[in-house]
Amino acid sequence: MAQATLRPTVRGPTFIRLLARLAELDVAAPGSSLPGQLGQWLDWKHALSLAAALDSRPAASEDPVTVPDDLPAECARARETLLAALRHDPLLASDTPPADEPDFAPYRQLYLARQRAAQATVGRLRGRLRDALMAASPEQARLAEVDAVMEVALTPHEHGLLAKVPALLERRFESLRRTGQPHWHDAFRREMQSVLLAELDLRFQPVDALLAALCTTQESA
């Protein structure tokens, strides 16, 4: 009796696991280390900027600096606003009746709009957090400089990769529609919402890291 082939477990961030499952892909372990993979995304100009940021010795401020203490709340509010928009969008609601002839176009527009909103919010928060770190201490100023270089170097690659997600979801949409199952449309909505939430978590990782560094600075002050 033939046995079904077991698909290997995909490890890594939730976002990657969801995309792999939707695409029905076997994702192998990366063949190189994280620094090696990042090196492929950094050109020589970015590498020089990163080296300069790492080697910098920012001067300590002689005047006492007040680090804004409302940033954690601002970050939390911004994230919750984006989350609420994803969780309560009428297009993804299970009680919204599907169109007679469901089309992926509205979902593509929704996904792209949510990506733009998340991108703008994360960019603004990273800038605010870097400004606060620059004022906190020489060590945290160096971290802010490194983050600025990494954002410039990696953001275009990140955008290019994330721009492919709607096409993947469209293939999933068509695949589920072809099954003819009564609730395929609801299943797709749930899957798309899960992908959006996971992508938002992924985008917020730099914000979370900078915020953690800032909170550490405040606690040790």
User: Residue 178 — pLDDT band, cuts 50, 70, 90?
Assistant: very high
* Block residue for tokens 């900027």: 49
Of residues 122, 180, 191, 179, the one with CA closest to residue 154 = 122
Of residues 55, 118, 52, 45, the one with CA closest to residue 81 = 118
What value does the mean pLDDT of the chain take? 80
Ordered by start, the domain boundaries in the chain are 69-92+100-221
pLDDT digits over 56-102, tens only? 665 545 554 555 668 899 999 999 999 999 999 999 988 878 777 78
pLDDT digits over 151-168, tens only? 988 888 889 989 999 999
Return all residues near 156 (Cβ < 8 A) that are at least 6 apart: none
Q: Which two tokens stand for residue 52?
A: 């300069």
Alpha carbon distances (Å) from 145 to 61, 93, 133, 137? 16, 42, 9, 12
